[in-house]
Amino acid sequence: MYKARISLAVAVFFMCSSWVLAQESTAVLGAVVVTAPKDGALPASAVLTSVDLMGADMIEDKNVKNSWELMGQMPGISLKSWQMGLESGKPALRGFNGEGYISGVKLLIDGVPANSNAGHLRQMDMIFPLDIDYIEVVRGTNDPRYGLHSIGGNINVATKQGGNYRYARLSLGSWNTTDLQAVFGSQTDEVSSNYYFATYKSNGFRDHSDTDKYGVGAKWFYRPSGSDLKLGLIVRGFHGTADEAGYLTQSEYNASPQQHVSTRSGADTDSRQMKTVSGHLEYALTPSTFLSTKLYYSDLTDDRNVTYPADSTANIYSQNRTWNEDHFGLLGSLTWEASQALTLETGLNAEKQDNQYKRHFWVGGEAYSGTVSTCSSARVTSAGVVSTRFSECWDYTVENTGAYVQAIFRPFQNLKIVPAWRVDHFTGSSSGHKNNTASNSNNDMTDYGWINQPKLSVVYNFNSTNSVYANWGKTFQLLTGGAYTSGPYASSLTSASVNTGEELGYKFNDGSGLDGRIAVWQQDAPDEVANLAAAGTFSRLGSTRRKGVDVQVSSQVNQSTKVWLSHSVQEAKIISGYSSSLTGKQVFGTPEYMTTLGAEYAANAQTSLGLQGRAQGNYYINTYNTNGKFGDYALLDTHLKYQPAKSVTLDFQIRNVLNKLYASDVWDYNADSSGGSSVPFFSAGAPRSFFLTAIVKF
């Protein structure tokens, strides 16, 4: 099947010779303006292949509970929506999943690393739609700028910087939802300042799913008149609390998908605080040499109670979980335009993580009550419990040093060649005990040595009408919080799993509004691990292969109508399992396909109608592919936008307009253990909902 698709894609490359090239291999959704001065650092869209950009006009008016949901509009992105309070879900790409075990995407906010230790994208909650300028997605293994977590690609969320503006947005909708956002920008010749405030409150579509969160932020940049130096400071803060409705057994879900079982999850809550600070420096050393550096600090604290349905076939315990993560880092790049034909860029990063993680266990299927135990206390036991567990307390550090070099070489105008090389090194230590013992241990992180990652990208414009591109590169996976030389978290893995990916693509534009891209890709990992770093839970899968086909097209049909469509087919399979029973199995949690579609019709200068759809295929819910496949859905949203005045926009939106019943997440406790014998647990997706949004620009 894939061979046929690849042959078709290659044939298309040579049949469409009359189409006009659009930004080489970058695809754009909405209106995006990404500017980089001649003496600036190179944007990804100028260097890399398989880059997607989504502009503010596709973002600022969307009604979403969490900003990561915005990326569901973009091609090749799958969404894992847990809908468990603040632990809501995340996007994934290139055959990786959002389960929390195999996180293949690097998150950056304004170019600053923003993943948690385990690779989660929790800092996305700090950013609200009205403050987003654009979202940039780089898919594949050929980006040398980032190492840790950048396995299948990276996502950079760029917020508003500079300009003079004052925007406010108020949304009211289903389940007593109130969403208030305000952004302000002021710019003079030397100083720019930007501020935002946002608050979100909702009762939620399930019982016991109230959410209350707010975020604040400020950005200041200073560039003296006539100077080549630019200095900046960005600060952000977030606080959120939420109730969790809990997972349902199949019989509970079938009876009432929106219910919550109060005797089990009535005390399930989450409280989270985050703050980030980053300093930015940009300096033109010479007219052709540019330095860019970022120094950052982030802090995450989280206190969560979570209760699972009782399951006699699995060792399930309800838990209180607390996180405290402090990350410090520095990254910088030096760009030199040696000539019109050659540009060189080199960069480095250093990051230190200080992570604390605790779990207190109590009886599965029972709501939590009482005071969290100290680290040395045993869990309360009762009849039918498989074993006695101790509270888990773990303190671990991770230190990463990385560097890269890349060259952008144009031997002639129609050809761009980008060779690159990246290296990464890790050290760390751990102290504490796991849940099967009360004895503390101190251990060093496994020494993986220097991890080498060569890369190569090529873009060729046959003429001014079309382009073909190819890329190849290596990235890596490792156990950042669970692999130590000895102790309860010891692992037999002595080297990183170095992935190898390749891609062949074609980008076209017919000059009259039709724009698109077709690509086939593959990514191999020699020794993949399903890893939940904070909990020290992992299982070796073995050699895996991911492959897929991406098709995306947009068209400005006429002056008033535009349409877009994307369809991605993907497969993630264990080629040679760590155990023989794994060979040939699908990697769990990976949808078979993702489809997006949309249409926008401007009835007149003040009124427009929009339609957006998203579909996602089903997937196995555990490593051994037992218990069937779940998770497919097809949803349709619509909106009516009216602009009564130049500074006021009203938008009436209906989400899930057909009121489709679907499970946003289906989960198996034994996803990472042998046999997968436990029963599936369900989290319901949102039914039809209504929102009225007003955006005022003054």
| Lowest mean pLDDT across 124-133, 395-404, 430-439, 636-645 | 430-439
Asked if 101 contacts 671 with a C-beta cutoff of 8 angstroms, the reply is yes
Tens of pLDDT, residues 341-390: 999 999 999 999 999 888 877 665 566 555 555 665 555 554 444 445 66
First to last CA, the chain: 55
Q: What is the mean pLDDT of residues 553-559?
A: 90
| Lowest mean pLDDT across 330-334, 342-346, 523-527, 676-680 | 676-680
Tens of pLDDT, residues 681-691: 899 999 999 99
Asked if 96 contacts 162 with a C-beta cutoff of 8 angstroms, the reply is no
CA atoms within a 13 Å half-sphere pointing along the CA-CB vector of 51: 23
Q: How far apart are CA 386 and CA 515, in angstroms?
A: 58
Tens of pLDDT, residues 520-546: 999 999 988 776 654 556 677 889 999
- For residue 565, the tally of other CB atoms under 10 A from its CB is 17
Type of residue numbered 78: S
**pLDDT above 50 for 330:** yes
Tokens of 152: 């299948």
Closest CA to 586 of 624, 616, 536: 624
**pLDDT above 60 for 215:** yes
CA dihedral 231, 156, 28, 33 (to 10 degrees): -10
- For residue 274, the tally of other CB atoms under 10 A from its CB is 22
Specify the higher pLDDT residue, 480 or 394: 394
**pLDDT above 80 for 464:** no
**pLDDT above 60 for 642:** yes
Predicted pLDDT of residue 57 = 87
Tens of pLDDT, residues 563-577: 999 999 999 999 998
**How, if at all, do strands 51-55 and 26-29 pair?**
parallel
Percent of the chain predicted with pLDDT > 90: 57
Number of independent structural domains in the chain: 1
**pLDDT above 70 for 7:** no
Tens of pLDDT, residues 465-495: 788 999 999 999 887 665 555 554 555 667 7
130: left (phi over 0), alpha (psi -120 to 50) or beta: alpha
Tokens of 45: 């869209």
Specify the higher pLDDT residue, 291 or 321: 291
Asked if 147 contacts 113 with a C-beta cutoff of 8 angstroms, the reply is no
**pLDDT above 90 for 14:** no
**pLDDT above 60 for 188:** yes
Predicted pLDDT of residue 18 = 29
Tens of pLDDT, residues 297-320: 999 999 998 887 765 445 556 778
| Lowest mean pLDDT across 9-13, 371-375, 562-566, 632-636 | 9-13
**pLDDT above 90 for 165:** yes
Q: How far apart are CA 667 and CA 665, in angstroms?
A: 6
Q: What is the mean pLDDT of residues 283-305?
A: 95
**Mean pLDDT for all residues in the chain:** 85
Asked if 271 contacts 241 with a C-beta cutoff of 8 angstroms, the reply is yes
pTM: 0.91
Predicted pLDDT of residue 393 = 81
- Residues listed for the chain: 698
Contacts of 642-647 with CB under 8 Å at 24 or more apart are 642/606, 642/607, 643/605, 643/606, 643/607, 644/606, 647/696, 647/697, 647/698
Give the 3-state secondary structure of residue 46. Answer: helix
Tokens of 163: 């300009």
Extract the runs of DSSP E, i.e. beta strands, from 603-632. 607-616, 619-620, 629-630
Tens of pLDDT, residues 652-667: 999 999 999 999 998 8
Tens of pLDDT, residues 405-432: 999 999 998 999 999 999 999 999 888 7
Domain containing residue 101: 2-697
Contacts for 116 with CB less than 8 Å, ≥ 6 apart: 122, 123, 300, 323, 325, 534
Type of residue numbered 72: G
Predicted pLDDT of residue 514 = 86
Predicted pLDDT of residue 528 = 86
Closest CA to 282 of 352, 343, 196, 224: 224
Q: What is the mean pLDDT of residues 135-150?
A: 93
Predicted pLDDT of residue 8 = 33
Tokens of 25: 């291999």
Q: How far apart are CA 26 and CA 253, in angstroms?
A: 42
**pLDDT above 90 for 169:** yes
**pLDDT above 60 for 105:** yes
Q: How far apart are CA 488 and CA 527, in angstroms?
A: 21
Which CATH number fits the domain that encloses residue 340? Answer: 2.40.170.20
Q: How far apart are CA 570 and CA 520, in angstroms?
A: 10
